[in-house]
């Protein structure tokens, strides 16, 4: 068996320096390796996963803490008391060279038809900020529109990118991306009718 290096990228995600792991390890083909990925305690309930690919933007997840890998190639376990998750890669080949240790918190935001909603995206990356709807267009400047709904964006404070959508419509419900540079954070927007409250006098 020959030796070769597997590169484990150190990934800082969700706007903070939250995950630390080794940057590169050397293993033999056909063998297995387990790699710990440390995270901050406040992220203990987030989904953790291993993403494969040379770049974060184009990598694909191969195993998650809430979904087992049926092939048995990858496994992942999360120690929420010690605040680290361990990823194991079995039967290594020289094609298994770039991975990212990642966690994310799925963001679900609710708004009412005809009203405005403001979404705060915590970012610590350089690059152009943008607000995109999955499969549709993006707003990359300080203002624009997506499917006829007005969108304004600005940096409300250091590392906080704020998006306001005005005059919400029911068709605005769906998946969006809060992005800065190559990092994209998914947000699900749920737009509904505002409930009517009534007071009854006896």
Q: Whose CA is closest to 109, among 42, 192, 25?
A: 192
pTM to 2 decimals? 0.51
Q: What is the DSSP letter of 94?
A: T
CATH class of 3-103: mainly beta
The architecture in CATH of the region 107-192 reads: Sandwich (2.60)
pLDDT tens, residue by residue, 161-180: 889 999 999 999 988 887 76
Q: Which segments of the chain belong to CATH 2.60.40.10?
A: 3-103, 107-192
* Tokens 């009718």 sit on residue: 193
pLDDT tens, residue by residue, 79-121: 888 888 888 888 877 666 677 776 555 566 889 999 999 988 7
Kindly report the length of the chain: 202
95 bridge partner residues = none
Enter the tokens of residue 53.
Answer: 């690919």
What's the distance, CA 13 to chain centroid? Answer: 7
pLDDT tens, residue by residue, 119-166: 887 665 556 778 988 778 899 888 999 999 999 998 877 667 889 999
Give the neighbor-by-neighbor strand order of the sheet with 183-192: 107-112, 183-192, 174-180, 129-133, 138-139
Q: Whose CA is closest to 160, among 185, 137, 182?
A: 185
């Amino acid at each position: 068996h020959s030796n070769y290096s597997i590169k484990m990228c150190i990934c800082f995600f969700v706007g903070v320096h939250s995950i630390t792991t080794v940057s590169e390890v050397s293993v033999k083909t056909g063998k297995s390796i387990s790699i710990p990925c440390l995270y901050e305690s406040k992220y203990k309930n987030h989904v953790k996963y291993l993403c494969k690919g040379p770049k974060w933007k184009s990598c694909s997840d191969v195993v998650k803490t809430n979904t087992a890998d049926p092939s048995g190639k990858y496994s992942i376990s999360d120690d929420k008391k010690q605040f680290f998750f361990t990823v194991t890669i079995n039967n290594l080949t020289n094609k298994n060279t770039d991975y990212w240790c990642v966690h994310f918190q799925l963001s679900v935001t609710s708004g009412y038809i005809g009203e405005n909603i403001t979404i705060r995206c915590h970012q610590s990356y350089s690059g152009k900020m943008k607000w995109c709807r999955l499969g549709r267009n993006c707003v990359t400047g300080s203002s624009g529109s997506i499917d006829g709904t007005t969108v304004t964006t600005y940096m409300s404070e250091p590392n906080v990118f704020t998006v306001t959508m005005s005059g919400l419509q029911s068709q605005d419900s769906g998946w969006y991306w809060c992005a800065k540079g190559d990092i994209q954070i998914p947000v699900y927007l749920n737009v509904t009718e505002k409930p009517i409250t009534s007071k009854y006098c006896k």
